[in-house]
A and B are shown apart, each in its own frame.
Chain A
Amino acid sequence: MKELEYPFDSEYILKKSKKIRRQLLEERSEFLHRKIAVLGGSTTHDIVRVLELFLLNQGIQPEFYESEYAQYWQDVMFDNPQLTGFAPDLIYIHTSNRNVVKYPSAASSEAEIDAMLEEQYGHFAAMWDKIADRYHCPVIQNNFEYPFYRVLGNREAVLPQGRISFLNRLNGMFYQYAREHEDFYINDINYISAAYGLDRWADPFYWHMYKYAMCMQAVPEFAYNLSNIVKAVFGKNKKALVLDLDNTLWGGVVGDDGVENLEIGQETSMGQVYSEFQGYLKAQKDIGVMLNVNSKNEYDNAVAGLQHPDGLLRPDDFLVIKANWEPKSGNMAAIAQELNILPESLVFVDDNPAERDIVSVQMPEVAVPDIGTPEQYIRVLDHAGFFEVTNLSEDDRRRSEMYRANIERARQQQSFGDYQEYLRSLEMRGTIRAFEPICMARIAQLTNKSNQFNLTTRRYTQSDIERFAASEEYITRYGRLEDKFGDNGVVSVVIGRKDEAASALHLELWLMSCRVLKRDMEYAMLDGMVRACRACGLKTLFGYYYPTAKNAMVKEFYGEMGFVKTQEAADGSTTWRFDIPDDYADRNTVIAVNA
């Protein structure tokens, strides 16, 4: 909904929240349902009210638990039965500098201040440890914003007695915890309050009247930032940028003005603005965002523009370049298809409101921010938080490289007559093993991101994944695939629950990344599961298919794998059975598997 996309009108959202909520629920019927516990150190009513809108807009329907006023710590430490009964999928701890109970005074010694820090930190760390132990769910914790006054003036940040110094050190300890613990995320309210304006943010009226940690008008910007972490944790991040060229990546029109007359580089103010923007996009690529072009241009002119000596982006920074005279909405669909991702994972960036409008209307799933004027492009894209980073995995950093290798493979495929011959030419090497610590984060990420090749679409947190790995009751396998073009990383995940009584294994999850479709990786995974079953005397596999809006491609998957359908429910869910024959021979013959 346009009203909820950055940059939004906060006052409109606050005033019309009830109407907006009603519309969101009417517009969409399918939501990801998630239970979110909001444990507050201050009033949380309006935070929950606005957070709900942003999450609904992302396709997540939250059910909230709110602690009683300022009971965040007690709820966790004393096992409030309402909270344990709620069984949250995510816990958010909404604290602020108003919850810091001890600050140094001008007379405090450094040793006393160190002890105070340890005590404050210990209060929080004990709660986080308890949550990890009791709830096994992701945690989002606010850091501390700066106070709105400075007794020591500019020395407040310098001297250990100053509150700014104290909060900076405390924040540092929070960050350290976040680096050392998976599934623990910091909501950076110190940044958000600064970006908003601390004096307005910290308006004491709202604290003393209503016990709000920030002014009411700041709640939407605050809640939006929080919603970005939540949606990223639940796998709703965007994956790719699709960029216009003329007046988006450089000033001027390359076809009319010629490459030499484009504004890019350090010579003019406008050229500097575009250079900074290209630098920003290049940094996005480095964290795994896939860059593409969708431009009304002759292809040769587009590439010539991207080779401008003062430009920072080069043609090979892009995965797909569509430069033609087709409608941009059609190009968007083609880009999604070539990358093998859903249109809802794309963000379209174009300076021309008419082009944005066509894409919004024709492809409502695509995010189409109103990016403003060139000097605003970076702020709008950045604060919109499309690609919120929760974890920088090696795979994220190498994503563009992997997708490029995929496009190369597609080209090669065309030159082979026989498909098996082509597969053999890829020199594929697979690793199929029980879940290992090094890839838990990637496995959890895959369970939240895979929609198409996903038989049961069960979403798991990293804590869930670790539990399966440690349990005797489950057989887990992940698959990693390399070939002569590159390493695809972890691409397939299977989880089976043992049923000793029936000598059977129930396949609760089977998913694969679409970037390795038709590579026989699914056969290699089946071989791996069969081997694991035999090792512990299980004789039968049961597969389950639960239909969603996106996984029709695997409706007949188990049938293709040689399973027999035993049940079909009215909603299209099916159950499949595979009795492992004594003379089972490996199905995969093209991937060299290293178990």
Chain B
Amino acid sequence: MSREEVFARLNDVFRDVFDDDGITVTDATTADDIEEWDSLEHINLLAAVEQEFGMKFNMGQVVSMKNVGEMADIIIAQLGA
């Protein structure tokens, strides 16, 4: 799966979870950029991303992940794409 495809699918997940079709995520997107993305919504967001890509984040990854770019890196590495 290409990085572009991963981003396209991530974008859909963000739009579903925050119920906002105006969202477009980039490498640099963080919780500061999306109003409703707080620590509690973060849990649900990660669960939805895991479901979308059929993978799981481990604790170390969740703790260190800083932005959507790093999230995409982990997904790509895990899927071996």
Contacts and interface: CB of A to CB of B under 8 A. Distances in A.
Task: Say whether A and B bind each other.
Answer: yes
Interface of A: 11, 14-19, 22, 43, 45-46, 49, 205-206, 208-210, 212, 216-217
A73 B40 CA distance: 23
**Main SS of chain B's interface residues?**
helix
Interface string B13-33: 100111100000000000000
Nearest to A11: B51
A403 B13 CA distance: 52
Nearest to B49: A15
A210 B47 CA distance: 12
B12 to A, nearest CB: 10
B34 interface: no
Contacts of A210: 43
B44 A22 contact: no
Given A210-B43, A216-B44, A15 B59 contact: no
Contacts of B17: 15, 18
Contacts of A206: 43
A508 B27 CA distance: 63
A472 B59 CA distance: 61
Interface of B: 13, 16-19, 40, 43-44, 47-48, 51, 58-59, 62-63
B43 A18 contact: no
**Main SS of chain A's interface residues?**
helix
B62 A14 contact: no
Given A11-B48, A209-B62, A216-B47, A46 B40 contact: yes
A45 B45 CA distance: 14
A15 B48 contact: yes
Given A15-B16, A46-B43, 5 more contacts: A11-B47, A14-B47, A18-B17, A45-B40, A209-B59
A216 B59 contact: no
Contact of A19 (B13, B16, B43, B63): B16
10 A-B pairs with the lowest CB-CB distances in the bound complex, closest first? A18-B19, A216-B47, A45-B40, A15-B48, A11-B51, A15-B16, A19-B19, A210-B43, A16-B16, A205-B59
A49 B47 CA distance: 15
B31 to A, nearest CB: 15
Nearest to A16: B16
A49 B19 CA distance: 14
Contact of A208 (B16, B18, B40, B59): B59
Q: Which of B16, B44, B48, B51 has the most CB atoms of chain A within a 10 A radius of its CB?
A: B44
A15 B13 contact: yes
A57 to B, nearest CB: 18
A19 B18 CA distance: 9
Given A205-B59, A208-B59, A217 B47 contact: yes
Contacts of B58: 205
Given A15-B17, A18-B18, A19-B16, A46 B48 contact: no
Given A208-B59, A209-B59, A209-B62, A14 B19 contact: no
Nearest to B17: A15
Contacts of B19: 16, 18-19, 22
23 contacts: A11-B47, A14-B47, A14-B48, A15-B13, A15-B16, A15-B44, A16-B19, A17-B44, A18-B19, A22-B19, A45-B40, A45-B43, A46-B44, A49-B44, A205-B59, A206-B43, A208-B59, A209-B43, A210-B43, A212-B43, A216-B43, A216-B44, A216-B47
B26 to A, nearest CB: 21
A11 B13 CA distance: 12
A14 B49 CA distance: 11
Contacts of A208: 59
A19 B16 CA distance: 8
B16 to A, nearest CB: 5
Contacts of A19: 16, 19
Contacts of B62: 209
